[in-house]
């Protein structure tokens, strides 16, 4: 793809979508950690550790997107919805965990 103002806008929008999901996941992780401190953990500690590992992997994808020069972006980068689905699934998992801990 050629670099154009529209292309730059699409790239920034794509990165912002990932960053918003990262922020949401970070908020949920913080709430889960706070809840675990109150309840003592148990099985939730392992679940939380897996969620943190998934978060870190996804976060590194966001960093890779930020480092990718505009001329290397392709239409397939915008069409790939896999990472977005993974973000959403991780957020749902954390929401269920937080709900269990807070109620």
Domain boundaries, the chain: 5-102
By 3-state DSSP, what share of the chain in percent is helix, strand and coil, each rounded to 5? 85, 0, 15
According to the model, what pLDDT value does residue 22 have?
92
According to the model, what pLDDT value does residue 68 have?
83
According to the model, what pLDDT value does residue 3 have?
59
- Among the listed residues 10, 22, 23, 19, the one whose alpha carbon sits nearest the alpha carbon of residue 79: 10
pLDDT per residue of the chain (103 residues) written in tens, 0 to 9: 455 888 888 888 888 988 999 999 999 999 988 887 777 666 788 888 999 999 999 899 888 888 888 888 877 776 665 677 888 889 999 999 888 877 7
Q: Residue for token digits 């913080």?
A: 30
Distance, CA of 16 to CA of 22 (rounded, Å): 10
């Amino acid at each position: 793809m050629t670099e154009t103002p529209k292309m730059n806008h699409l790239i920034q929008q794509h990165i912002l979508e990932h960053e918003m999901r990262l922020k949401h996941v970070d908020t949920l992780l913080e709430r889960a950690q706070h809840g675990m401190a109150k309840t003592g953990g148990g099985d939730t500690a392992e679940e939380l550790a897996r969620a943190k590992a998934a978060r870190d992997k996804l976060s590194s994808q966001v960093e890779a997107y930020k480092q990718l020069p505009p001329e290397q972006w392709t239409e397939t980068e915008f069409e790939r919805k896999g990472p977005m689905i993974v973000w959403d699934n991780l957020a749902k998992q954390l929401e269920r965990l937080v709900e269990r801990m807070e109620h």
